[in-house]
Amino acid sequence: MTPWLEIDAGADGCQVNLLPPGGISAPLPDGLSMPVLAGLSSIQRPLSIPGIASAPISNMDAVLDNAGGALTVLWGQRAPMRRAVRVRTAGGVLFDGIAVGIELGSQVRLGLEAGADRPLSDSMPLRTSAVWGGWREVRVLPWAWGQVTLAPIQYSDDQRVFLLADHPIQGVDEVKRDDVSTPAWAFYNGVDSTGQAVAFLELAMPLSEGERLAVTLRGRMHPDTGRLLQTPAEILFDILANLAGAQITWAELDDYRTETAHVALGGLLADNEVSIRAAVDGLLQSCGGAWAAAMPGIAIAWPPQSDDAAPAKRVDALTAEDLKATTNATGLCTSLRVLYDYDHALGSYRRAIQLQAPDAVKEYGLLEKEWPAPWLRTPRQAEELGQRVLSWLARPRWRVTWRQSFDDVPTGAWVDVAHPLSPLAGRHRLVSAELDLSAASLACTIEAPVGAPPAIETVRLSTAFDPLIQPGITVDVANGEIIFTARDERGRPLAGAKITLNGGASRIADSAGRVSFPVKRGRHVLLIEAVGYPAAEAVVVV
């Protein structure tokens, strides 16, 4: 297996093939071929798990011989920055990415980043209001997905016409002036003064100086069907393919789309100093995901749910060398607070939910962590995310590493572990699969908690979390009784709901969704039954 580098043609139209001094036996494409390849670093392919273990983009370095200065002559005036680069062997492509850095000397070090047609360290390519000219305050023009609340951007001098998003949107649900809902407005998709398709809001009466305007809208749509883009896979594809311009296909996200089809998100991107990578991290942290630009499928749900039908490589005493397992107290969490339903007009989260693993608290102490999930909108999905994440974080996690003979197993692939030295057994996903081309070996890493999943309680205490805690069940103490308030996923009181405490006494909620019980402090289970809603249970600690 003899690798070489293939660098796409730039403005000069000349493709460059960088070969090892001994040459190669495979046929080369047309272009300039130079026997200067001195060595290749390992191909770093880590999995980024936002909120748990964010990682850099897959990358590698190539070392080239430049003793005669040939590469200085070739690249001194026209460095191949941002050109596509591939590491090839006679068997196919091992690495596909772009050039992101060059160090010239007697040897040349060429830095490569994998998995996209542009560096994911680039800032989000969002326009600003400066494209219109003449504005006293330059604002970034946002892209919006799902249902989201934002402060629109002034477009007309008379403060009647405002830009909602730098693209067409599906519709507007509510407009508030100084927090008071108003019906005196019209929404339409049109084009701005540059010819860009955008969404506008027009007010019947101009906005006064200092008056606040907040709009709840439904954002980007499928270009063919007009359907709202709101699932994690839809938004991830739209960010990478249509905003960042990466050459990915919708089919690449098939598995992730299946895993997350039940999740509805809402959010926006309105910061052109945030990198593409950071934007994707923020999106996936909101729904519990992991990703790598060079990984087949790009993203997966995390923590992973074992898929017994998926192919997996066996890891045992015969296939794995130098296996080691490590764990430490870093990263343990026994109480998780999920912040969600971010209001971009207010610049703050509207709601939060607190979860706790009581047995883990007894064993390890109270270890608290906040989990920002700005794209999440409903308490049901915030609770589901919190349950998954806390179940993973409330137990010690083993990180198992080993080496095996060269096999191009990608990061994120499944492995079946049956090794006598490994505390982890069964099916796990690779969080790193590092290719060492010089040693023809693969360094692998998995990480997972051990022991039975802990029991997790949802704790909603208005005294601790007000005003963020609104939907579900909130708890107050008054006149020696515990007052429970039931709300739906939009925070509206469930008037007339039947609420049963611990399988015994039942009460009917008043017009504000409140019932009271003379209960002691501790853990209680409430059954909530309301017309038009499925029955639901909530565990609260008072």
Q: What tens digit of pLDDT does each residue of 116-137 get?
A: 677 888 899 999 999 998 666 8
Q: Which among 153, 164, 151, 159 has a CA at the least distance from the CA of 209?
A: 159
Closest listed residue to residue 493, CA positions, set 507, 479, 474, 506: 474
pLDDT of residue 177: 93
Out of 449, 469, 486, pick the residue that ends a domain: 449
Q: Are 318 and 425 in a shared domain?
A: yes
- Pick from 486, 533, 538, 479: which is nearest to 512 by CA? 486
What's the whole-number mean pLDDT along residues 366-380? 92
Domain coverage including residue 153: 129-218
- pLDDT above 70: residue 463: no
Q: Which residue has the higher pLDDT, 467 or 496?
A: 496
401 with 386, same domain: the answer is: no
Task: From 202, 149, 208, 141, select the one nearest 177 (Cα to Cα).
Answer: 208
Let me know if residue 149 belongs to a domain: yes
Do 66 and 14 belong to one domain? yes
Beta strands in 255-388 (DSSP E): 267-269, 289-291, 299-301, 312-315, 321-326, 335-343, 348-356, 368-373
Answer yes or no: do 402 and 389 share one domain.
Answer: no
- End-to-end Cα spacing for the chain: 65
In this prediction, residue 469 has a pLDDT band, given cuts at 50, 70 and 90, of: very low
pLDDT at position 351 is: 85
> What pLDDT score was predicted for residue 479?
59
Angle between helices 379-393 and 276-287 (to 10 degrees): 100
Question: 167-201 pLDDT, tens per residue?
Answer: 999 999 999 999 899 999 999 999 999 999 999 99
Binned at pLDDT 50, 70 and 90, residue 476 comes out as low
Q: Do residue 412 and residue 532 come from a single domain?
A: no
Could you tell me which of 186, 192, 131, 205 has the C-alpha nearest to residue 165?
A: 192
Domains identified in the chain, total number:
6
d(CA 5, CA 428): 33
Given a contact cutoff of 8 angstroms between Cβ atoms, the answer to whether 297 and 255 are in contact is yes
pLDDT for position 542? 64
Q: What span, in angstroms and rounded, lies between the C-alpha atoms of 375 and 285? A: 9
Top pLDDT among 470 and 290 is at 290
Residue 207 has φ and ψ, to the nearest 5°, of -75, 135
Whether residue 272 is predicted with pLDDT greater than 90 in this model: the reply is yes
For 59-89, the pLDDT digits (tens) are 999 999 999 899 999 999 989 999 999 998 8
Q: Quick check: helix, strand or coil at residue 221?
A: strand
The yes-or-no verdict on residue 90 having pLDDT over 60 is yes
- State the sign of the Cα–Cα–Cα–Cα dihedral 252, 254, 259, 261: positive
In terms of domains, do 435 and 319 share one?
Answer: yes
User: Omega of the bond prior to 303 within 30 degrees of 0, cis?
Assistant: yes
Structural domain includes residue 304: no
Beta-carbon contacts of residue 433 (< 8 Å; ≥ 6 apart): 45, 409, 410, 411, 413, 442, 443, 444, 445
**44 is a domain residue:** no
Within-domain flag for 351: yes
Q: Are residues 67 and 91 in the same domain?
A: yes
For residues 232 and 88, what is the distance between their CA atoms, to the nearest angstrom? 33
Q: State the DSSP string of 117-173.
A: SS-TTSBP---BGGGT---SS--BPPEEESEEEE--EE-STTS-EEEEESS--SEEE
489 phi, psi to nearest 5 deg: -70, -15
Q: Is residue 343 part of a domain?
A: yes
Q: Are residues 345 and 422 in the same domain?
A: no
What predicted TM-score, i.e. pTM, was given to this entire model? 0.81
Instruction: Please report where in the chains the tokens 């990466």 appear, as a residue.
Output: 246
DSSP code at position 79: -
Query: At residue 467, does pLDDT exceed 60?
Result: no
Is pLDDT above 90 for 502? no
Instruction: For the chain, give the longest Cα–Cα distance.
Output: 89
Tell me, yes or no, whether 98 lies in a domain. yes
Predicted confidence at residue 465, as pLDDT, reads 34
Same domain, 316 and 414: yes
Q: Are residues 8 and 107 in the same domain?
A: yes
Per-residue confidence band for 163, with pLDDT thresholds at 50, 70 and 90: very high
Pair (99, 182) in one structural domain: no
11-20, 297-306, 446-455, 463-472: segment of lowest average pLDDT = 463-472
Report the number of secondary-structure helices (H) and strands (E) in the chain: 7, 38
Last residue of a domain, one of 393, 410, 439: 393
Q: What is the mean pLDDT of residues 234-243?
A: 96
pLDDT at 452 over 60: yes
Q: Is 256 helix (H, G, I), strand (E, B) or coil?
A: helix
Across 468-487, average pLDDT: 62
Verify that 9 and 106 share a domain, yes or no.
yes
Between residues 236 and 93, the one the model is more confident about: 236
Q: What is the mean pLDDT of residues 276-301?
A: 94
Residue pair 176/185 in contact by the 8 Å Cβ criterion? no
